[in-house]
Amino acid sequence: MESGGENRKGLWTAEEDRMLLDYIRVHGKGKWNRIAKMSGLKRCGKSCRLRWINYLSPSVKRGDFSEEEEDLIIRLHKLLGNRWSLIAGRVPGRTDNQVKNHWNTHLSKKLGIKKAKIKAGANSLRSLAGEIRSNSEPPSDCNGEVASELIIEDGSHSVIADGSQSVLRFSSTEEETLVDQNYGCSFWFSHEDLNLYTPAYLMEPLDEYGLDFVWDGM
DNA sequence: AAGGGAAGCAACCGCAAGCCA
DNA sequence: GTGGCTTGCGGTTGCTTCCCT
Protein backbone atom coordinates (compact mmCIF):
# COMPACT_ATOMS: atom_id res chain seq x y z
CA MET A 1 0.00 0.00 0.00
CA GLU A 2 1.24 3.43 -0.78
CA SER A 3 0.93 6.10 1.79
CA GLY A 4 -1.17 9.08 0.94
CA GLY A 5 -3.12 7.58 -1.93
CA GLU A 6 -4.30 4.05 -2.50
CA ASN A 7 -4.78 2.75 -6.00
CA ARG A 8 -8.35 2.70 -7.15
CA LYS A 9 -10.03 -0.62 -7.86
CA GLY A 10 -13.20 -1.71 -9.58
CA LEU A 11 -14.77 -0.63 -12.83
CA TRP A 12 -13.08 2.04 -14.91
CA THR A 13 -14.85 5.32 -15.47
CA ALA A 14 -15.02 7.11 -18.83
CA GLU A 15 -12.71 9.76 -17.44
CA GLU A 16 -10.10 7.19 -16.44
CA ASP A 17 -10.32 5.62 -19.88
CA ARG A 18 -9.78 8.98 -21.49
CA MET A 19 -6.75 9.74 -19.29
CA LEU A 20 -5.17 6.39 -20.11
CA LEU A 21 -5.89 6.72 -23.83
CA ASP A 22 -4.52 10.25 -23.93
CA TYR A 23 -1.32 9.18 -22.25
CA ILE A 24 -0.80 6.18 -24.51
CA ARG A 25 -1.49 8.24 -27.64
CA VAL A 26 1.33 10.59 -26.71
CA HIS A 27 3.85 8.31 -25.03
CA GLY A 28 2.99 4.84 -26.29
CA LYS A 29 2.28 1.75 -24.27
CA GLY A 30 4.61 -0.35 -22.15
CA LYS A 31 6.23 0.49 -18.79
CA TRP A 32 2.79 0.29 -17.24
CA ASN A 33 3.84 1.24 -13.74
CA ARG A 34 5.30 4.41 -15.16
CA ILE A 35 2.14 5.10 -17.15
CA ALA A 36 0.09 4.63 -14.00
CA LYS A 37 2.16 7.25 -12.21
CA MET A 38 2.68 9.72 -15.03
CA SER A 39 -0.85 9.75 -16.39
CA GLY A 40 -2.28 10.88 -13.09
CA LEU A 41 -4.43 7.79 -12.79
CA LYS A 42 -4.87 6.35 -9.34
CA ARG A 43 -4.50 2.86 -10.76
CA CYS A 44 -1.71 0.33 -10.54
CA GLY A 45 0.26 -0.50 -13.67
CA LYS A 46 -1.26 -3.90 -13.90
CA SER A 47 -4.75 -2.49 -13.96
CA CYS A 48 -3.79 0.01 -16.69
CA ARG A 49 -2.26 -2.72 -18.81
CA LEU A 50 -5.32 -4.94 -18.47
CA ARG A 51 -7.68 -2.10 -19.30
CA TRP A 52 -5.75 -1.32 -22.46
CA ILE A 53 -5.43 -4.93 -23.60
CA ASN A 54 -9.00 -5.96 -22.85
CA TYR A 55 -10.92 -2.83 -23.65
CA LEU A 56 -9.19 0.26 -24.97
CA SER A 57 -6.90 -1.19 -27.59
CA PRO A 58 -8.28 -0.50 -31.09
CA SER A 59 -7.62 -4.09 -32.06
CA VAL A 60 -10.17 -5.40 -29.57
CA LYS A 61 -13.36 -6.61 -31.19
CA ARG A 62 -16.65 -6.19 -29.28
CA GLY A 63 -19.98 -7.84 -29.55
CA ASP A 64 -21.18 -11.40 -29.68
CA PHE A 65 -19.00 -14.23 -30.82
CA SER A 66 -19.89 -15.53 -34.27
CA GLU A 67 -20.45 -19.20 -34.92
CA GLU A 68 -17.15 -19.30 -36.80
CA GLU A 69 -15.35 -17.85 -33.82
CA GLU A 70 -17.01 -20.29 -31.45
CA ASP A 71 -16.13 -23.21 -33.65
CA LEU A 72 -12.54 -22.03 -33.86
CA ILE A 73 -12.31 -21.64 -30.09
CA ILE A 74 -13.74 -25.11 -29.50
CA ARG A 75 -11.20 -26.64 -31.84
CA LEU A 76 -8.33 -24.65 -30.41
CA HIS A 77 -9.36 -25.50 -26.87
CA LYS A 78 -9.40 -29.13 -27.81
CA LEU A 79 -5.91 -28.72 -29.14
CA LEU A 80 -4.39 -26.43 -26.54
CA GLY A 81 -6.42 -26.80 -23.37
CA ASN A 82 -6.88 -23.75 -21.15
CA ARG A 83 -4.07 -21.81 -22.77
CA TRP A 84 -6.29 -18.83 -23.36
CA SER A 85 -3.66 -16.46 -24.62
CA LEU A 86 -2.61 -18.94 -27.29
CA ILE A 87 -6.21 -19.49 -28.30
CA ALA A 88 -6.95 -15.78 -28.33
CA GLY A 89 -3.90 -15.23 -30.48
CA ARG A 90 -5.58 -17.19 -33.22
CA VAL A 91 -8.99 -15.57 -32.92
CA PRO A 92 -8.59 -12.12 -34.48
CA GLY A 93 -9.74 -9.25 -32.31
CA ARG A 94 -10.48 -11.34 -29.26
CA THR A 95 -8.54 -11.19 -26.00
CA ASP A 96 -7.64 -14.05 -23.73
CA ASN A 97 -10.07 -12.71 -21.14
CA GLN A 98 -12.92 -12.59 -23.65
CA VAL A 99 -12.18 -16.09 -24.85
CA LYS A 100 -11.89 -17.45 -21.32
CA ASN A 101 -15.13 -15.80 -20.20
CA HIS A 102 -16.97 -16.94 -23.29
CA TRP A 103 -15.73 -20.47 -22.83
CA ASN A 104 -16.68 -20.58 -19.16
CA THR A 105 -20.11 -19.02 -19.59
CA HIS A 106 -21.25 -20.34 -22.96
CA LEU A 107 -19.15 -22.94 -24.68
CA SER A 108 -18.52 -25.29 -21.76
CA LYS A 109 -22.28 -25.49 -21.25
CA LYS A 110 -22.92 -25.88 -24.94
CA LEU A 111 -20.55 -28.83 -25.08
CA GLY A 112 -21.77 -30.34 -21.84
CA ILE A 113 -18.32 -30.26 -20.32
CA LYS A 114 -18.05 -31.10 -16.68
CA LYS A 115 -15.43 -32.40 -14.37
CA ALA A 116 -14.01 -35.78 -15.24
CA LYS A 117 -13.37 -38.08 -12.36
CA ILE A 118 -10.87 -40.90 -11.98
CA LYS A 119 -10.85 -43.25 -9.04
CA ALA A 120 -7.48 -44.74 -8.51
CA GLY A 121 -7.93 -47.36 -5.81
CA ALA A 122 -4.81 -47.87 -3.74
CA ASN A 123 -2.47 -46.07 -6.05
CA SER A 124 -0.87 -42.92 -4.86
CA LEU A 125 -1.54 -39.94 -7.04
CA ARG A 126 2.05 -39.85 -8.06
CA SER A 127 2.27 -43.47 -9.08
CA LEU A 128 -1.09 -43.28 -10.77
CA ALA A 129 0.09 -40.34 -12.75
CA GLY A 130 3.25 -42.19 -13.63
CA GLU A 131 1.32 -45.24 -14.63
CA ILE A 132 -1.03 -43.35 -16.82
CA ARG A 133 1.85 -41.71 -18.49
CA SER A 134 4.07 -44.72 -18.95
CA ASN A 135 1.47 -47.33 -19.85
CA SER A 136 -0.59 -45.24 -22.11
CA GLU A 137 -0.02 -45.11 -25.79
CA PRO A 138 -2.43 -42.93 -27.63
CA PRO A 139 -3.85 -44.05 -30.91
CA SER A 140 -2.08 -42.37 -33.76
CA ASP A 141 -4.99 -40.11 -34.56
CA CYS A 142 -5.62 -39.12 -30.95
CA ASN A 143 -4.67 -35.64 -29.95
CA GLY A 144 -4.77 -36.36 -26.24
CA GLU A 145 -7.12 -33.65 -25.14
CA VAL A 146 -9.26 -34.25 -22.10
CA ALA A 147 -12.17 -32.60 -20.38
CA SER A 148 -11.55 -29.26 -18.83
CA GLU A 149 -10.21 -30.95 -15.75
CA LEU A 150 -9.86 -34.25 -14.00
CA ILE A 151 -10.28 -35.18 -10.38
CA ILE A 152 -8.06 -38.01 -9.23
CA GLU A 153 -8.89 -39.71 -5.98
CA ASP A 154 -6.88 -42.33 -4.18
CA GLY A 155 -8.99 -42.57 -1.05
CA SER A 156 -6.93 -40.17 0.99
CA HIS A 157 -6.24 -37.49 -1.56
CA SER A 158 -8.19 -35.63 -4.11
CA VAL A 159 -6.54 -33.41 -6.60
CA ILE A 160 -7.75 -31.52 -9.57
CA ALA A 161 -5.45 -31.79 -12.52
CA ASP A 162 -5.94 -29.46 -15.38
CA GLY A 163 -6.24 -31.24 -18.70
CA SER A 164 -3.50 -29.06 -20.06
CA GLN A 165 -0.93 -30.52 -17.70
CA SER A 166 1.62 -32.72 -19.33
CA VAL A 167 0.90 -35.75 -17.19
CA LEU A 168 -2.57 -35.95 -18.66
CA ARG A 169 -1.54 -35.06 -22.15
CA PHE A 170 -0.71 -38.14 -24.07
CA SER A 171 0.29 -37.10 -27.47
CA SER A 172 1.51 -34.25 -29.48
CA THR A 173 -0.28 -30.96 -29.29
CA GLU A 174 1.07 -29.88 -32.63
CA GLU A 175 -1.56 -28.33 -34.78
CA GLU A 176 -1.35 -31.02 -37.40
CA THR A 177 -2.80 -33.51 -34.92
CA LEU A 178 -6.08 -31.66 -35.11
CA VAL A 179 -7.36 -33.74 -37.96
CA ASP A 180 -10.62 -34.94 -36.51
CA GLN A 181 -13.70 -33.17 -37.78
CA ASN A 182 -16.01 -33.96 -34.88
CA TYR A 183 -14.02 -33.00 -31.77
CA GLY A 184 -13.26 -36.69 -31.90
CA CYS A 185 -11.04 -38.99 -29.99
CA SER A 186 -9.69 -38.33 -26.63
CA PHE A 187 -7.26 -40.07 -24.33
CA TRP A 188 -6.15 -43.58 -23.80
CA PHE A 189 -5.89 -45.42 -20.51
CA SER A 190 -4.67 -48.90 -19.76
CA HIS A 191 -5.35 -48.65 -16.06
CA GLU A 192 -8.11 -51.15 -15.28
CA ASP A 193 -9.40 -49.61 -12.09
CA LEU A 194 -10.33 -46.33 -13.56
CA ASN A 195 -13.85 -45.11 -13.61
CA LEU A 196 -13.95 -42.25 -15.95
CA TYR A 197 -16.44 -39.44 -16.08
CA THR A 198 -16.14 -37.51 -19.25
CA PRO A 199 -17.96 -35.00 -21.40
CA ALA A 200 -20.69 -36.18 -23.71
CA TYR A 201 -18.78 -35.35 -26.81
CA LEU A 202 -15.99 -37.69 -25.70
CA MET A 203 -18.12 -40.68 -24.89
CA GLU A 204 -18.09 -42.42 -28.20
CA PRO A 205 -14.39 -42.22 -28.77
CA LEU A 206 -13.73 -43.60 -25.30
CA ASP A 207 -16.16 -46.44 -25.83
CA GLU A 208 -14.44 -47.20 -29.08
CA TYR A 209 -11.20 -47.86 -27.18
CA GLY A 210 -12.90 -50.17 -24.72
CA LEU A 211 -12.69 -47.94 -21.69
CA ASP A 212 -14.88 -48.56 -18.71
CA PHE A 213 -16.45 -45.21 -18.14
CA VAL A 214 -19.48 -43.98 -16.27
CA TRP A 215 -21.51 -41.02 -17.33
CA ASP A 216 -22.17 -38.88 -14.30
CA GLY A 217 -25.69 -37.50 -14.56
CA MET A 218 -24.58 -34.13 -13.15
C1' DA B 1 -43.57 -3.68 -8.61
C1' DA B 2 -40.28 -5.86 -5.79
C1' DG B 3 -37.16 -9.29 -4.28
C1' DG B 4 -34.04 -13.04 -4.99
C1' DG B 5 -31.24 -16.00 -7.65
C1' DA B 6 -28.64 -16.89 -11.89
C1' DA B 7 -25.82 -15.52 -15.56
C1' DG B 8 -22.43 -12.70 -17.75
C1' DC B 9 -18.47 -10.13 -17.77
C1' DA B 10 -14.83 -6.85 -16.18
C1' DA B 11 -11.31 -6.66 -13.22
C1' DC B 12 -8.22 -8.49 -9.57
C1' DC B 13 -4.80 -11.69 -7.67
C1' DG B 14 -0.92 -14.64 -7.37
C1' DC B 15 2.60 -16.65 -9.69
C1' DA B 16 6.15 -17.34 -13.15
C1' DA B 17 9.15 -16.00 -16.80
C1' DG B 18 11.94 -12.59 -19.03
C1' DC B 19 14.90 -8.76 -18.98
C1' DC B 20 18.44 -5.82 -17.46
C1' DA B 21 21.63 -3.43 -14.50
C1' DG C 1 25.12 -14.89 -10.57
C1' DT C 2 21.50 -12.25 -8.59
C1' DG C 3 18.02 -9.21 -7.33
C1' DG C 4 14.57 -5.98 -8.73
C1' DC C 5 11.34 -4.63 -12.08
C1' DT C 6 8.13 -5.56 -15.83
C1' DT C 7 5.15 -8.30 -18.40
C1' DG C 8 2.09 -12.06 -19.25
C1' DC C 9 -0.86 -15.79 -17.95
C1' DG C 10 -4.71 -18.43 -15.91
C1' DG C 11 -7.82 -18.81 -12.09
C1' DT C 12 -10.97 -16.43 -9.30
C1' DT C 13 -13.85 -12.82 -7.50
C1' DG C 14 -17.40 -9.68 -7.27
C1' DC C 15 -20.36 -6.30 -9.45
C1' DT C 16 -24.10 -5.53 -12.72
C1' DT C 17 -27.82 -6.99 -15.39
C1' DC C 18 -31.37 -10.13 -16.47
C1' DC C 19 -35.04 -13.16 -15.53
C1' DC C 20 -38.32 -15.52 -12.87
C1' DT C 21 -41.64 -15.74 -9.18
User: Residue A154 — pLDDT band, cuts 50, 70, 90?
Assistant: very low
Query: Pairing mode, if any, of strands A149-153 and A158-162?
Result: antiparallel
Write the pLDDT tens digit of every residue in A159-207.
333 333 323 333 223 222 222 323 332 332 323 223 333 333 333 333 3
Q: Residues A71-111: pLDDT tens digits?
A: 899 989 888 888 999 999 999 889 999 999 999 888 877 76
A101-CA/C10-C1' distance, Å: 12
Confidence (pLDDT) at A199? 34
| CA–CA distance, A174 with A13 (Å, rounded to integer) | 42
Q: State the pLDDT at residue A161.
A: 37
C1' of C4 to CA of A45 (Å): 16
- Residue percentage of chain A with pLDDT more than 70: 48
Report protein residues in contact with nucleic acid strand B, where contact means CB under 7 Å. Answer: A 8-12, 43, 46-47, 50-51, 54-55, 97-98, 100-102, 104-106, 109
Instruction: Tell me the average pLDDT across A106-132.
Output: 47
